[in-house]
C-alpha cells in the first residue's frame, strides 16, 4: 500500500469536529512544546505546511497550531491547552489525554501519539512521528520491542539487497558491526551498512572549570541529546542536560545543530559534570 493510500485510510472526520471559540478559553493553560518528524526521522519545517491539533474525546479541537521552522533544540510547534477544574466542551482538565491530529495542506489528516495534559502554567515536551509505524520484537530478547516507520522498512529493502543482506529488516541487528543497532543509526541519520558512518563523541575536554565541551558529528534535520552514567561496571544511563555555549545559563534536554537536511558537520555542546563524582561517562544519542 503506498503512502497516499495509507493516509487516506486514516482520514478523520475533521468536518464534524467543533473548533473551540477563543472567547471560551480560561486564563489557565498548559503548554505542550513538541517536535514533529517525518518518516525519515527528520524534523519538519514550515515548508511542510501541516497543522497540529489537540482534540478532545468528543471531537472538539482545543488547540491548533501550524508547524514552524524548528528552534535550536528541534521543537517546531507549541500547543496552548485551555484548562478548567473539570473538562468541558471547550477545555481540558489536568490529567486528561487528548487525541493529537496532524493535518496536511491537502486536507488529509493522521492521528499520532496522544497528548497528556499537565498542570496550568507549566510546559511539557513531546516528540511525534508523522508516519505509519510497524512494531518489531527482538529475536534475541522478546522483552525488547520497537516501532519503526513502515515506509522505512520498504525503503531499506534495496539497501539490504545492495549490501548482500537477506531476510526481514531487523532494527535490533547491527549489520555493519560498529556497535550501534540498525534502528539507532536510522534515528541518528547514519548508514547502518557503513561502519565508518556512526554517531559518536569525537572530542571531549575536561578543564578545571565547568562546563566541559563535547563534540560530535551531526546530520542536519536530526535531534540529539546526551546520556551519562557514573560507572561502566553497572551503567545506569540517565539524560544529561546540555548547554549550547560555554556562557549559557539555561540547560536543554536536546539540541538540533542544523535544520538543513543536507548539512553534515561537527557540533560542540557543553555538559556540567556531577558534583563530587570521581568519574563520569557520557554518550551522545539521537532523539
Q: What is the DSSP string of 73-124?
A: TS--EEEEEEB-SS--SS-B-TT-EEEEEEEETTS-EEEEEEEE---TT-EE
pLDDT digit string (tens) for 225-282? 999 999 999 999 999 999 999 999 889 999 999 999 889 999 999 999 998 888 899 9
Q: What letters, b where the CB count within 10 A reaches 16 and e where it falls short, cover 186-209?
A: bbbbbbbbeeebbbeeeeeeeeee
> Cα–Cα distance between 92 and 79 in angstroms, integer?
13
When comparing pLDDT for 107 and 77, which is higher? Answer: 77
CA distances 84 to 52, 79, 89, 121, Å, are 22, 16, 11, 12
**Contact status, residue 6 vs residue 132, Cβ threshold 8 Å:** yes
- pTM score > 0.75 for this model? yes
Q: What DSSP designation does 252 have?
A: B
Residue appearing with cell numbers 471531537 = 59
Residues 174, 182 contacting (CB under 8 angstroms): yes
User: pLDDT grade, residue 27 (50/70/90)?
Assistant: low
- 81 touches 32 (CB < 8 A): yes
* Neighbouring residues of 121: CB distance < 8 A, sequence distance ≥ 6: 28, 29, 30
- When pLDDT is averaged across residues 56-68 and rounded to a whole number, the result is 94
pLDDT of residue 236: 93
Would you state the pLDDT for residue 255? 95
Cα Rg of the chain (Å, integer): 21
Report the side by side order of strands in the sheet with 242-243. Answer: 201-204, 212-219, 264-271, 242-243
Residues 112, 32 contacting (CB under 8 angstroms): no
- Cβ contacts of 174 within 8 Å, gap of 6 or more: 180, 181, 182, 192
Provide mean pLDDT across the span 78-98: 93
Q: How far apart are CA 44 and CA 245, in angstroms?
A: 25
pLDDT band at 14 (very low <50, low <70, confident <90, very high): very low
Summarised one tens digit per residue, pLDDT across range 125-155 is: 999 988 888 888 887 788 888 888 888 888 8
Question: What percentage of the chain reaches a pLDDT higher than 90?
Answer: 54
| Backbone φ, ψ for residue 120 (5° rounding) | -65, 145
Cis peptide before 224 (omega within 30 of 0): no
Task: Supply the DSSP symbol for 247.
Answer: T
The angle at the Cα of 105, spanning 104 to 111, to the nearest 5 degrees, equals 15
Amino acid at each position: 500500500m503506498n503512502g497516499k493510500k495509507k493516509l487516506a485510510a486514516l482520514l478523520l472526520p475533521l468536518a464534524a469536529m467543533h473548533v473551540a471559540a477563543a472567547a471560551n478559553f480560561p486564563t489557565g493553560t498548559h503548554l505542550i512544546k513538541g517536535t514533529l518528524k517525518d518518516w525519515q526521522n527528520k524534523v519538519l519545517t514550515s515548508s511542510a505546511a501541516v497543522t497540529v491539533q489537540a482534540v478532545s474525546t468528543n471531537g472538539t479541537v482545543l488547540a491548533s497550531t501550524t508547524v514552524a521552522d524548528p528552534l535550536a533544540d528541534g521543537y517546531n510547534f507549541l500547543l496552548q491547552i485551555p484548562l478548567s477544574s473539570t473538562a468541558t466542551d471547550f477545555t481540558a482538565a489536568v490529567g486528561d489525554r487528548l487525541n493529537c491530529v496532524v493535518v496536511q495542506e491537502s486536507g488529509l489528516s493522521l492521528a499520532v501519539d496522544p497528548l497528556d495534559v499537565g498542570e496550568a502554567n507549566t510546559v511539557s515536551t513531546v516528540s511525534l512521528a508523522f508516519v505509519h509505524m510497524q512494531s518489531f520484537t527482538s529475536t534475541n530478547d522478546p522483552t525488547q520491542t520497537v516501532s519503526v516507520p513502515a515506509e522505512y522498512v520498504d525503503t531499506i529493502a534495496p539497501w539490504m539487497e545492495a549490501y548482500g543482506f537477506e531476510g526481514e529488516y531487523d532494527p535490533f541487528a547491527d549489520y555493519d558491526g560498529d556497535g550501534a543497532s540498525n534502528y539507532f543509526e536510522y534515528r541518528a541519520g547514519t548508514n547502518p551498512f557503513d561502519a565508518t558512518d556512526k554517531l559518536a563523541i569525537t572530542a571531549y575536554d575536561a578543564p578545571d572549570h565547568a562546563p566541559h565541551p563535547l563534540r560530535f558529528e551531526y546530520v542536519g534535520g536530526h535531534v540529539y541529546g546526551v546520556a551519562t552514567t557514573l560507572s561502566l561496571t553497572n551503567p545506569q544511563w540517565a539524560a544529561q542536560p546540555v548547554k549550547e555555549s560555554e556562557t549559557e545559563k539555561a540547560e536543554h534536554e536536546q539540541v538540533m545543530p542544523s535544520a538543513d537536511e543536507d548539512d553534515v558537520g561537527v557540533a560542540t555542546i557543553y555538559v556540567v559534570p556531577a558534583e563530587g563524582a570521581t568519574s563520569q561517562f557520557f554518550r551522545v544519542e539521537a532523539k
